[in-house]
Structure 1
């Protein structure tokens, strides 16, 4: 059976859970607290020397880390990965963008504000501006479509919804991005997860 080592406060960990749940893949969840430095123990570092969650142990005992790599592995051959090569490449484009441009702003500001309790004055002011740009890119893209690529829910949507649905915890107003807000509600319903707002 798949074992997921994850922190319930992490959107990156929820991505893996969302995929496993959607595809009916049975798993055991082991809670690993980042705030308690449980990713820095010798036992955890033996599984993932980078000391990051999520990390999974596959049924055959091998380990895999990085949320998007795990999602791709779990979803291979499923409807969550477009069959068309170009649409699949577009999905990957959004997966890379999510980790490089989205997560580094939306998730970081959320963590500092919601979990570390920092005031706006204590945070990098550029994060708010960058986050607004990121959400604006998403809003523009979703103005003409229901999902990010291929006309159906894919891993791109799951990757992007994980932190976007929690953006308000970082001080972002999804109401300012109506196409994003509608998409979040659509993806939450499709995945069968409780709405966050």
Structure 2
């Protein structure tokens, strides 16, 4: 298998972290979005949406969307619960990550880290702060009740949300008011096989 991605991207890091936690390896192909490498005809042939990460299987089939790839890689492992309700809880948090968390925290980080917070993007950067803090409040409320997002053990839900949350400060978010999130970040980092974002 082969992953095309950028290891600074939270959506790509999810896969790197998951594979490491599972003790699996995969060939990695670096893709630079700022150089237009996701818009080449060769890349678009693999992924018409022109986004990373993508997973290319040995038989040439391709999966896109980080959370879908995570489900494929974690199939039949303890990181993906098998009971209908807990499985749905994982999906609930992953949908939350894509619709209520990533559009604010990840986009603010992209503007600041990748683009260098140019003047013409400052208003957009600032507009992301309120939504990002709302997402953090939702996580904090849950993590005050359970050490991980769906209970006492790590799941794909945690990996999906850890990716951008633990570097939220790079998007201008201050986690000092979120002790449960900070504790959870520490718990994830203590997991056997944990690998830091490059």
Q: Tell me the TM-score range normalised by the shorter chain.
A: over 0.9
Task: State the match for 1:157 in structure 2.
Answer: 158
Alignment partners' CA distance in 2, 1:32 and 1:64: 16
Task: State the match for 1:61 in structure 2.
Answer: 60
TM-score, normalising length: structure 2 = 0.93
Runs of 4+ in 1 over 2 A off after TM superposition: 123-126, 193-196
Distance apart, 1:193 and its partner CA: 2.5
TM-score, normalising length: structure 1 = 0.94
Task: State the match for 2:113 in structure 1.
Answer: 114
When residues 138 and 128 of structure 1 are mapped into structure 2, their CA distance, relative to the original with a 3 A threshold, is: same
> Is the Cα–Cα contact under 8 Å of residues 102 and 134 in structure 1 kept in the other structure?
yes
Q: Secondary structure at the match of 1:145?
A: coil
Task: State the match for 2:10 in structure 1.
Answer: 11
Specify every segment of 5 or more residues in structure 1 that has no aligned partner in the other structure, as ranges.
none
Distance apart, 1:93 and its partner CA: 0.4
Task: State the match for 1:89 in structure 2.
Answer: 88
> Is the Cα–Cα contact under 8 Å of residues 75 and 81 in structure 1 kept in the other structure?
yes
Specify every segment of 5 or more residues in structure 2 that has no aligned partner in the other structure, as ranges.
none
Task: State the match for 2:131 in structure 1.
Answer: 130
Distance apart, 1:195 and its partner CA: 8.3
Distance apart, 1:114 and its partner CA: 1.6
The alignment status of 1:192 with 2:194, answered yes or no, reads yes
The aligned length equals 195
Alignment partners' CA distance in 2, 1:30 and 1:193: 18
Q: Secondary structure at the match of 1:25?
A: coil
Task: State the match for 1:141 in structure 2.
Answer: 142
> Is the Cα–Cα contact under 8 Å of residues 87 and 150 in structure 1 kept in the other structure?
no
Distance apart, 1:176 and its partner CA: 1.6
Alignment partners' CA distance in 2, 1:119 and 1:131: 20
Alignment partners' CA distance in 2, 1:193 and 1:123: 34
Q: Secondary structure at the match of 2:186?
A: helix
Compare relative contact order (CA 8 Å, sep 6+) and give the higher one, 1 or 2.
2
